[in-house]
Amino acid sequence: MINKFTHSPVFPIVPCYTERQLLDVQATMDYARYLAENGAEILMTTSGTTQYNLLSNAEIFSTNRALGGQWQNKTIIMGLKAESFIATQAIIREYNKGNFNDNTFLMLQYPDRYYNDDIIERYFHILAECSDYPLLIHCKPLQHGVTGKTHDYTAELINKICSHKNIVGVKEET
């Protein structure tokens, strides 16, 4: 499984916009096509997480669906933005209907403040159970729920999260 995204650099797909500042899925796919035709083997949505998180879930899904439907021989990492557990579970169920290729991964972020490791581990493990696709975890630093300071994922927490058979790796481990 891991060789599906470690054999080549990961190429981020930056969302493109019209002059009216609307998401331009076609221009975004043109950019992805350019990368794929020039040797990119692994394509990932979520470039510029802050910008990506401004997109609606419908916009993200349309971009991911277009990207996932393009190539059967490429590895596609589809980013989902940070949402509540219930919202993320519903979004994953929509992706499960997508019939994407066997080289498709979903990348999730934890949406809340840090309170303890068990809550975060449980969040990802339950979502991993409902996903038909392997998951990558975006280990972006969290805000501590008590102190307000930045809280990094520890190696121990990353190992706990990745102990689930459907969680295959992390992005930006700390």
Band of pLDDT at residue 49, cut at 50, 70 and 90? low
Band of pLDDT at residue 173, cut at 50, 70 and 90? low
Residue for token pair 């979004």? 91
Q: What pTM did the predictor assign?
A: 0.91
Residue 94 has pLDDT above 90, yes or no: yes
Contact (CB, 8 A) for 103 and 76: yes
Q: What is the pLDDT of residues 140-159, one digit of tens each?
A: 888 888 888 988 999 999 99
Band of pLDDT at residue 174, cut at 50, 70 and 90? very low
Q: What is the pLDDT of residues 64-93, one digit of tens each?
A: 999 888 777 899 999 998 899 999 999 999
CB count, 10 Å around CB of 127? 22
Residue range of the domain that includes 24: 2-171
pLDDT in the model for residue 113: 86
Domain holding 22: CATH number? 3.20.20.70
Residue 103 has pLDDT above 70, yes or no: yes
Please give the tally of structural domains in the chain. 1
Residue 165 has pLDDT above 80, yes or no: yes
pLDDT in the model for residue 53: 76
Q: From CA 102, how far away is CA 97, in angstroms rounded?
A: 14
